Structure formats: structure tokens, C-alpha cells
């Protein structure tokens, strides 16, 4: 938050972005999801990273060679290295589509047993990408789709053999990740991490008190708790169950307004930002099958750090998704451009059109200073 003077009085202005804290559940709800359908088998883990480790265990008898996008998160990559897989990376275009020529060349040279793919920020694959992936499956390559950025979007690849995802990106949950397959998975999981759950819930309560009050000292307290949570989540040596608390949140939250607000916020902000020349919107507008995670944009002329700081001092926190992992090397100029220039703008359910207009106003102000 930031203190502003209004009519001679200090008024607390709410910050935008950063960690979730609000939990609103309806005890009478019992949501069902696509992975609850009879044809699927699912396992619930402490994190998306842990779910990928579980996937590695399931694929243990396969030839340990996989191809994945060069634009990805370190938490996707690390479990495969941990389990001694060889990894190659295919090029991602600036519009975040698969560079099919790059992927084809990697497949011919590397001969993988599996390919991990993900589309980005809630959007799905184009038809040409889906048709190509279908051909790979017909050749016997295992298809893994990472749904972390589109858990609620209605555009997953139905031909995938496995789905992995995190449950912590769209709302305040202490933990949670999933692995889904058409085949039964015989995995043994340790009991949930109770220390992680209690630390996360403590962080949520502290941040809620901070957001609803005017005690600035609470900010340092809840930030320390979130840092502790991230350290606990980074421990990925053994397969661990996700908590009942996060499952309850997903079963008992009314997601219809969450989905509607994300789509409306994204599309309104997209319209407001489109004319601004110092940035470039990465993706198009969201249709009713897309539930956006953020609104990604490229900041031109190497000004990303400056814009991110400009917004942060106005208490609008925009993450870089993702910093480049040090083991992803020899990537193309297009993929390097993504890492160097992308900035992700919050559009989630905590906010409305007023906040989107505020964000657009500040980005426009930044643009006018850069002319």
C-alpha cells in the first residue's frame, strides 16, 4: 500500500499484484473438474514441481529423453534433471507459438521418448500446432501437457497422455499440484507438509490484515512468511501429498465470478493498452474458452526494468515470467527476446475495471515520459 493525501488526510491506497491472500469458500459447494471424470486417473501433490517428479517416476521405464520449450520455468525442468533425463529445447516464437521447424529438427536428431508442451497465460494452441502434436503421438512419442497457466481454460489437448499443473497460480491455496493420466499410476506419497500449510495460512492472514488496515509493519511480516513458504515448496526430494485445505478451497470456491472477472479485466486492459507504442501485446483478446493468468506484454527498447520499477513504486507489482534458467542454453533470438522483454500485468479476480484503468493510465504516463 501507499499513503496518499486526500483533503488533508492520509488515505491508504491498495496495492495491485503479488501474492494471493483471500479465501472465500462456500461449504455447500462441491465442485467437480474434468480430471474427476471416470476415464481419468489423478494424483494430488504438494506442488506442480512435485507432480512433475511424480510423472518422472511413472515414466521410469521409458528412455529418458525429453524435448520441452526453451521458454519455460525452472521448476518444470529441474525434476527431469533430478531424475537423470536428457533434455533438449525447442524454439518458441515471439507470439508464444511452437516453432514447428525447430521442434521437428530436434525430434529427428534427438529421438525423444516424450515431449512436454505448454501454451501460455490461459490461451490454447493453434490448429496447425494441434495437428502437428497429433502426428507426434501417432509416432509413439509420449505427449505431456503442462496446464499450470490454464487450469480453468477450456482448451487442453485431448490427445495428451499426461497432464501436470500447479493449483497455486489462480487463488490463495497453501500448496497443490496435479498429475492426470488415462492410465492408473501406482505412486506412494508421503503425508502432506503441515508446516507449509500452517505457514501459508499465517501469511494469508497477515496479508489480509495488512490489506484491510493501515499497519505498514505487517508487510515485512507477511513477506517473510511467503519467502518461507517458497523455501518449503522448493524441497522436492520425495513425493508428497497436497493438503486437504487446498482441495477444500478448489471444491468449495465459486469459480464462475473468478473466471468472468479475469476475462473481463484482461480484455478491458488489452483494449486500453493496445494504442500505447512503447509496448507490444503478446497475445490477442480472450474468448470464453480462455481464462487468462496475466496479460503479457513486451516492453520495447530494453525498457522493461524501467517500466517494472515505475509501476512498483506506484504499488503495482508485475512479475517477469520467467527469468531464464541457467541450464537452458543456445536458444534462438526469438526465444531470447521473450525472456528479455516480457512483463506480466495482473488481471486477476481481486481487481475490477477501475484497477485496469489505473494500470493503463500509469503505463500511458510512462510511455509519454519515454517519448
Tell which residue, 51, 173, 167, has the closest CA to residue 116.
51
Report pLDDT for 371: 56
d(CA 323, CA 320): 6
Q: Is the pLDDT of residue 214 over 90?
A: no
Q: How confident is the model at residue 236 (pLDDT cuts 50, 70, 90)?
A: confident
pLDDT for residue 6: 36
Angle between helices 127-138 and 100-110 (to 10 degrees): 10
**pTM for the whole thing?**
0.94
CA distance 179 to 156: 14
User: Does the pLDDT value for residue 11 go beyond 80?
Assistant: no
Domains 34-181 and 255-370 share a fold: no
Mean pLDDT of 110-115: 97
Cβ–Cβ under 8 Å, residues 337 and 70: no
Q: Where are the domains of the chain?
A: 34-181, 255-370
In CATH terms, 34-181 corresponds, of 3.40.640.10, 3.30.9.10, 3.90.190.20, 3.10.20.440, to 3.40.640.10
pLDDT in tens, 317-359: 999 999 999 999 889 999 999 999 999 999 999 999 999 999 9
Fill in the DSSP letter of residue 35: G
Specify the pLDDT at position 8.
39
Between CA 136 and CA 151 the distance in angstroms is 24
User: Closest Cα to residue 93, out of 101, 82, 105, 85?
Assistant: 101
CA distance linking residue 160 with residue 144, whole number of Å: 6
- Mean pLDDT over residues 246-270, rounded? 95
> What average pLDDT is seen over the chain?
93
Residue 3: is its pLDDT beyond 50? no
Q: CATH: 3.20.20.80, 3.40.50.1820, 3.90.1150.10, 3.40.50.720. Which one for 255-370?
A: 3.90.1150.10
Q: Where are the beta strands (DSSP E) in the chain?
A: 2-6, 9-13, 16-17, 41-45, 65-69, 86-90, 114-117, 142-146, 162-166, 177-181, 279-281, 294-299, 316-317, 342-346
* 49-58, 231-240, 295-304: least confident range: 231-240
Amino acid at each position: 500500500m501507499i499513503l496518499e493525501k486526500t483533503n488533508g488526510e492520509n488515505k491508504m491506497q491498495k496495492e495491485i499484484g503479488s501474492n494471493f491472500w483471500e479465501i472465500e469458500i462456500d461449504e455447500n459447494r462441491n465442485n467437480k473438474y474434468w480430471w474427476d471424470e471416470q476415464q481419468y486417473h489423478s494424483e494430488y501433490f504438494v506442488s506442480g514441481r512435485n507432480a512433475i517428479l511424480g510423472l518422472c517416476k511413472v515414466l521410469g521405464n521409458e528412455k529418458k529423453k525429453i524435448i520441452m520449450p526453451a521458454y519455460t520455468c525452472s521448476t518444470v525442468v529441474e525434476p527431469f534433471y533430478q531424475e537423470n533425463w536428457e533434455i533438449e529445447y525447442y524454439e518458441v516464437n515471439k507470439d508464444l507459438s511452437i516453432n514447428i521447424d525447430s521442434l521437428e529438427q530436434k525430434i529427428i536428431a534427438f529421438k525423444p521418448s516424450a515431449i512436454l508442451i505448454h501454451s501460455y497465460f490461459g490461451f490454447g494452441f493453434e490448429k496447425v500446432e494441434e495437428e502437428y502434436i497429433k502426428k507426434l503421438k501417432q509416432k509413439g512419442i509420449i505427449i505431456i501437457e503442462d496446464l499450470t497457466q490454464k487450469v480453468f481454460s477450456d482448451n487442453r489437448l485431448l490427445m495428451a497422455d499426461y497432464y501436470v499443473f500447479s493449483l497455486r497460480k489462480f487463488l490463495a491455496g497453501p500448496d497443490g499440484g496435479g498429475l492426470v493420466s488415462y492410465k492408473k499410476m501406482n505412486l506412494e506419497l508421503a503425508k502432506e507438509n503441515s508446516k507449509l500449510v500452517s505457514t501459508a495460512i499465517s501469511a494469508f492472514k497477515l496479508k489480509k490484515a495488512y490489506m484491510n488496515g493501515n499497519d505498514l509493519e505487517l508487510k515485512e511480516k507477511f513477506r517473510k512468511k511467503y519467502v518461507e513458504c517458497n523455501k518449503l515448496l522448493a524441497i522436492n526430494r520425495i513425493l508428497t501429498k497436497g493438503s486437504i485445505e487446498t482441495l477444500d478451497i478448489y471444491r468449495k470456491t465459486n469459480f464462475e465470478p473468478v473466471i468472468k472477472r479475469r476475462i473481463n479485466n484482461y480484455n478491458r486492459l488489452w483494449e486500453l493498452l493496445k494504442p500505447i507504442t512503447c509496448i507490444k501485446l503478446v497475445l490477442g483478446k480472450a474468448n470464453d474458452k480462455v481464462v487468462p493468468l496475466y496479460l503479457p506484454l513486451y516492453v520495447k527498447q530494453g525498457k522493461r526494468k524501467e517500466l517494472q520499477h515505475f509501476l512498483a513504486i506506484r504499488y503495482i507489482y508485475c512479475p517477469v515470467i520467467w527469468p531464464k534458467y541457467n541450464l537452458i542454453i543456445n536458444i534462438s533470438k526469438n526465444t531470447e527476446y521473450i525472456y528479455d522483454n516480457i512483463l506480466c500485468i495482473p488481471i486477476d479476480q481481486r481487481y475490477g475495471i477501475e484497477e485496469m484503468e489505473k494500470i493503463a493510465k500509469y503505463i500511458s504516463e510512462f510511455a509519454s515520459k519515454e517519448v
